Amino acid sequence: MSEKKIRSISVFIPEEVVCASLEKIGFVQIDSVTTSSDGKFWKKMLYIKGEEIVSVSEELGDYWPKDPVISICCLPNTIKTILGDLDALV
């Protein structure tokens, strides 16, 4: 079995679309919290599928454009699927 890898990207895709794309491939949201970093507030959502974990963080407030940060700790095939799905949405 291959090892998990990590990637982190920010994309100009609305957070709802990113989350729907993750749910479509079997990820389930387990929790969401408010975080603060770089002087900004973020809504951080955690998605899990088995041992694979993805977090989606979107800046809170009246900002544009929205570019959620997606941090992935998954098997290489899952990373490829997630990035492929996001590429198709751009």
Partner 1 sequence: MPSFECNETQFIENISRLLDSENRFVVNRRVQIYDDRRYGPAGMPDEVFMQFSSILTRKGQRSSVYAKTHFLDDYHHRVYFLQDLLHSSSKMKYPILHIPYYKVEYSFRIFGSSYHYSFDVLFKPKISIEQKKITKKMNPRIEEESAMLIHVLQFEPLQEKMLRINLPKKVLLLDFKKANNPLEN
Of 59, 58, 51, nearest to 27 by C-alpha is 51
- Minimum distance from residue 20 beta carbon to partner 1 (Å): 19
Max CA distance (Å), the chain:
44
49 binds partner 1 (CB under 8 A): no
Of 6, 27, 18, nearest to 90 by C-alpha is 18
Q: Which region, judged by CB under 8 A, interacts with partner 1, from 20-28, 65-73, 82-90?
A: 65-73
65 binds partner 1 (CB under 8 A): no
- Minimum distance from residue 87 beta carbon to partner 1 (Å): 17
